[in-house]
Structure 1
Amino acid sequence: MSARENLHAVLRMHQIGIVNLLRPDHLVRAAVRNAKLGPQAALIMKAAAENPHAPALTDERGTLTYRQLDELSNALARALRELNLGERAVIGVLARDHRGLVLTIGAAARANLRLALMNTGLAPQQLAEVVGRENVRAVLYDSEFADLVDALPDAVPRYLTWADEGAADRTIDMLIAGRPVTPLPMPDRPPGFIILTSGTTGLPKGAPRTKVSPLASALIADRIPFPRQGAIVIASPLFHSTGFGAWTVGLSLADHAILLRRFDPERILRAIAEHKAQMLVAVPTMLTRILSLGPEIIARYDVSALRTVFVAGSPLTPDLTNRFQDTFGEVIYNVYGSTEVAVASVAQPAESRRAPGTVGRPPVTVHVAIYDDHGLRVTRPHETGRVFVRTGIPFEGYTDGRHKQVIDGFMSTGDRGHLDDAGLLYIDGRDDDMIISGGENVYPLEVENLLAERDDVIEAAVIGVDDPEFGTRLRAFIVAAEGAARDPQEIRDYVRALLARYKVPRDVVFIDELPRNPTGKIVRRELPTGPLD
């Protein structure tokens, strides 16, 4: 980043309330903590010092203040140090969203341990492979995942972050009990953490973050209005970069995180109403399920305090954006990014209304570029190419040694997209989703968005399957609304009337639900590609 960009980011952080330039003493202390612990542990300490009695989180067990969160994190850090795992050893956590996960995040850095955030959707063999690949020395987990953890070698110590009834042995509460709540000496540098990519094919890759710039919060909050000491309902899992990033910015503003172990659309509305939450962090499929409750149930809850819905993790259709905002107001901030590049762009509510389908503009310190298949920069608007991003928090490469392609300092996102005349970004599809049918390039996302506009379609997924005549053809999978006709020919005629003939799906399959991973992304490999009965 240039000095000018750094200055702009600092000024934005001051405007947002993340830092106070009028208190340089606070800035120096925060910078030292960040340089030694990393942002999450440092921000918990900062909030505890400045707002000790403010609520830090609420889960099923109640509320913890920032002072309580800080002190319990210190006690757990002391217990983890006594396990003698070694300096900067890797520990894994396999947990849903609750205080046990947050305490583990807060304690790991203080104990100079590197934390691997495990995906709760992993299969036993996948978990064992990830633990082996990342050299995980101990695992903290929720009791509901005991069968998964049983796949690990007996030599790996394990402790419960959340104990269901009848599973109360070796819990982190026992580790914490009776230990001093004073802080340990800080390490010389942050041990960092590892987030697993939420890809839908193969074993998730490990994306490490060792040294995160203190300006990273500006990157996320620049185009998204966060409350100050307000309430945020975090429905997106913290083990994924969407929930993790939003929660981290919330720490910098001493916000109150409302955590739910399992997603339930009515519980989300109840939590927003009960806590007068100004922000909801979610993935698109959660918005679909909230709307599916219907006007009568939605009207039971006073959600008038809601100002921001931070949505990321998978593509958000223009139709879903409009329907949600027609119900809840102009609140959707559609975030495009990935575990590797963090936030690449944000579509604010007015941009989504004015330019349906856009993912908006880059925030401060971020730049987006389009390159063609030969690595040449695309400068003309409306020309589709490969999307590359240059960010203020550069990617370190995967833990297995691989890296994303980089051109001129811009890193590939794996997506194809274009810019319009106003500089707004649009995503046309994944590089590996594009199919060639009869010699024509087809992006299934365009067809999915069109199908989602129909009142009788709840959601849709479109993939390519082998075809003896055209090489590849489109197959549409549709979750139909209750009482819908479910007529494949009607669907084909609808697409044919609005798109080119080669974009019409030859196959239309009605299913009860689309396969998704825990972060809401459609798992396309689980959709049948063979002959249909």
Structure 2
Amino acid sequence: MSTLEHLHAVLRMHQIGIVNLLRPDRLVKAAANNAKIGPQAALIEKAANERPDLPALTDERGTWTYREFFERSNALAHALRKVDLPPKAVIGVLARDHRGLALAITGTARAGMRLAMLNTGLAASQLAELIKRENVRFLMYDSEFADAVDGLPDDILRYLSWADDDYERPEGVLTVDELTAAEPTTVPLPLPEKPGGFIILTSGTTGLPKGAPRTKVSPLASAVIADRIDFPRQGTAVIASPLFHATGFGAWTVGLSLANHAVLLRRIDAEGILAAIAEHRAHMLVAVPTMLNRILALGPDVIAKYDTSSLKTVFLAGSALPPDLCVRFQNTFGDVLYNVYGSTEVAVASVAQPQELRRSPGTVGKPPVTVHVALYGDDDKPITEVGAKGRIFVRTGIPFEGYTDGQHKQVIDGYMATGDQGHFDAEGLLYIDGRDDDMIISGGENVYPLEVENLLAAREDVMDVAVIGVDDPDFGARLRAFIVPTDDSARDPQEIRDYVRAGLARFKVPRDVVFVDDLPRNPTGKLIRRELPTGPL
């Protein structure tokens, strides 16, 4: 990153309100804390000192102010420092979005310990494998995952981050609240020499999730996320995207820097999201595209029950945004969508703002400050022609440390591969054409399923859709479409084929059309393609 880019990012942070260049004393202290305990814990302390009585988070059990949040984080840090753990041991948390997860993130950071945020969609066997791979020796978990946790080795310490009211707790199993009950809340804890950092898991749509560690987080990370997105300042954000994933985690962290109020939803349903927006007069919603589809499926009568006029920003990431869904949502809720493209590895690569989505629905926009996006061909040579497809690579001021298993993404000229194919239009807007590993060759033609998915998603009788490639003895591969139909759908495979043939080239028509009740998606909304049947129907 050049000095000029660095200065530009700092200026943007000042303009957004993340830092105040007119108070260098506070800036220096915050930077020093960030260098030792990481941004989340440092930001909680900063807000507790400057705005202690503002609401920090709300879940179904009530609201914490920033003072209360800081004090509980401090108590957990004191408790963790007393735990006898082997060297390089990692703290794990398996929890939905609620105060227990937020506390785990900030408390482990204050204690200088590394935290692995585990995906709530993991199978028991995957959980056991990840616990071993990431060297987790202390686990905080929600009671609903008790069966999966029971199969872990006995030497792993475990505490409940959340216990359902009807959960019959086994004897000897303590909650995190009980662990910290006797610990001081206001006595300062000596800061660690360096941050423990955290591990975010990739989506794991093609296998066991990889661990993407972040030990040192650049102070400019918030500028990358917030540069092209309208964040509230001391306002409210409903976070309906899991905190254990990069989207929810990043949006929540930027919100902390602005002393925002985070409304966390342990259980996600479309009407519940609208109710939370209305109740808390939320400025922002953090979500994934499938949630938008479910909100619109409620229908105008249900939507009209809730006053969502306060909503100015929908921070959207995690999976592709179909163009038709983009248009329909903004026609209903106004120009509020910010379509974010990125990954666990590269963080935010580009952002499409509402006016860009009006002109070009489905675009992922342009890179934020300090980020650069380039296209490369299969020969690793740059592609610069307007409209030409290529492999997407990103250079960012938030460097990726490599996976915990020692692997790394391909890097060319300082740019890291995202695994996606895309192109730029004449205005410099980026579009995603599909995943590298999703492309099939059918009868000698390159076909990206995403184009067919977007076309079918625009139909009023299609609730959800996925298109994959399967083996074909004549053409090498063919497309198979899985469709979640509406109740009034005719469910006619030939009519679907004719519809695609009228809009796309002949070789892009799916030969197989399968109607299903739902599609396999992970908690972040990404399609788990490996769970779709590829054999004979």
Is the TM-score greater than 0.5? yes
**Matched-pair contact (CA < 8 Å) for 2:326–2:362:** no
SS at match of 1:477: strand
Out of 335, 342, 345, which is 1:337 matched to?
A: 342
SS at match of 1:315: coil
**Alignment match, 2:133:** 133
Name the residue aligned to 1:11. Answer: 11
What do residues 393-445 of structure 1 show as CA deviations (whole Å, max 9, x unaligned)? 01000000000000000000000001111111010000000000000000000
The aligned counterpart of 1:505 is 510
Aligned pairs for 1:485-524 (under 5 A) are: 485-524=490-529
- Residue 216 of structure 2 is matched in structure 1 by 211
In structure 1, how many angstroms separate the alpha carbons of the residues matched to 2:114 and 2:494? 55
**1:227-266 counterparts in 2 under 5 A?**
227-266=232-271
In the alignment, is the contact (CA less than 8 A) between 1:13 and 1:19 conserved in 2?
yes
CA distance in 1, matches of 2:208, 2:66: 36
Letter in 1 for 2:510: P
Q: Any conservation in 1 of the 2:283–2:310 contact (CA below 8 Å)?
A: yes
> Equivalent residue of 1:359, what SS?
coil
TM-score by length of 2: 0.98
**Structure 1 pair 167–393 and aligned structure 2 pair: CA distance change class (3 A):** farther
Aligned residue number for residue 74 of structure 2 = 74
CA deviation string 1:467-519 (max 9, x = no partner): 11100000111111121111111111111111110001111111111111111
How many Å apart are 1:87 and its aligned residue? 6.0
Q: Deviations over 1:76-135 (max 9, x none)?
A: 111111112256531100000000111111100111110000000111111111010011
2:277 alignment counterpart: 272
The aligned counterpart of 1:58 is: 58
Q: How does 1:385-464 map to 2 (within 5 A)?
A: 385-464=390-469
Aligned-residue offset at 1:236: 0.4
Give the AA of the match of 2:219: P
Shift of 1:357: 2.1
Aligned-partner Cα distance in 2 for 1:446–1:148: 38
Whether 1:198 aligns to 2:203 is yes
The count of residues paired between Structure 1 and Structure 2 equals 532
Higher alpha-carbon deviation: 365-374 or 487-496: 487-496
Structure 1 match to 2:371: 366
1:361-392 CA distances to partner (integer Å, 9 max, x unpaired)?
Answer: 00000000000001000011111010000001
Are the equivalent residues in 1 in contact too, given 2:239–2:262 (CA < 8 A)?
yes
Tell me the secondary structure at the aligned position of residue 437 of structure 2. coil
Q: Percent identity?
A: 74
1:11-34 deviation line (CA, Å, top 9, x unaligned): 000000000000000100000000
Map 1:349-364 to 2 at 5 A.
349-364=354-369
| Residues 156-167 of structure 1: pairs in structure 2 closer than 5 A | 156-165=156-165, 166-167=167-168
Q: 1:124 aligns to what?
A: 124
Structure 2: 5+ residue stretches without partners: none
Aligned residue for 2:298? 293
Cα distance between partner residues in 2 of 1:328 and 1:14: 30
Distance in 2, Cα, partners of 1:476 & 1:84: 53
Q: After TM superposition, where is structure 1 displaced by more than 2 Å over at least 4 residues in a row?
A: 86-89, 165-169
2: CA distance between counterparts of 1:266 and 1:358? 27
Cα distance in 2 between the residues matched to 1:472 and 1:86: 51
What TM-score, normalized to structure 1?
A: 0.99
Distance in 2 separating the partners of 1:85 and 1:110: 16
**The 10-residue stretch of structure 1 (441-450 or 173-182) with the greater mean CA deviation from structure 2:** 173-182
Q: Is the 8 A contact 1:143 1:167 kept in 2?
A: no
Aligned residue for 1:217, secondary structure, equals helix
User: Structure 2 matches for 1:301-316, cutoff 5 A?
Assistant: 301-316=306-321
Further displaced range: 285-294 or 398-407: 285-294
Residue 283, structure 1, aligned to residue 288, structure 2? yes
Distance, in Å, in 1 between the alignment partners of 2:532 and 2:109 is 41
Cα distance, 1:455 vs structure 2: 1.1
Q: CA RMSD in A?
A: 0.9
Unaligned 5+ segments in structure 1 are none
Residues 92, 117 of structure 1: 8 Å contact kept: yes
Contact 1:233 1:279 in 2 (8 A): yes
Distance in 1 (alpha carbons) for counterparts of 2:87 and 2:303: 50
Match of 1:113 in 2: 113
Judged with a 3 Å threshold, the aligned counterparts in structure 2 of structure 1 residues 49 and 265 are, in CA distance, closer, same or farther, namely: same
Alignment of 1:28-107 (within 5 A): 28-86=28-86, 89-107=89-107
| Secondary structure at the counterpart of residue 358 of structure 1 | coil
Q: 1:327 aligns with which of 317, 325, 332?
A: 332
